[in-house]
Amino acid sequence: MSKVINTSGKKKTAIARATFKEGNGRIRINSIPLEIYSTEIARMKISEPILLFPGSTDDVDVTVDVSGGGYMGQAEAVRTAIARGIVNWHNDPRVKDAYLEYDRTLLVNDSRQKEAKKPHGRGARKKFQKSYR
């Protein structure tokens, strides 16, 4: 029985679900290899948990399905899912401590959401102008 770990990450409306299986170090996001995924800044953001612990995914195949949000929100969600998976896979408290010390959002979802629109205005706070004074 091979080891399989499922993790998830969220940022705004983006949700990423990662599956870790024994393999040879392939990382795919929506069936696209990490090396050619999206923009360079998003790739750098996603690869942070991998670069903090070189060799942590050499014997693991990571498959991530991400949906919702924009490309940067998706990158943050994928990053959280991968970091959580690495912590679960290696089961080493030093990895978790290092991630938390570097950036807490690697392991904790960012729960901020868009504020709801209110009446008498164009958005959450902005109000229509009055012109009768």
Q: What percent of the chain has pLDDT over 70?
A: 99
Class of CATH domain 4-106: alpha beta
| Complete DSSP assignment for 61-119 | EEEEEEESS-HHHHHHHHHHHHHHHHHHHH--HHHHHHHHHH-GGGTS-B---PPPP-S
The pLDDT tens digits of the residues spanning 50-68 come to 999 888 889 999 999 999 9
Q: Where are the domains of the chain?
A: 4-106
Report pLDDT for 131.
87
Average pLDDT over residues 5-26: 94
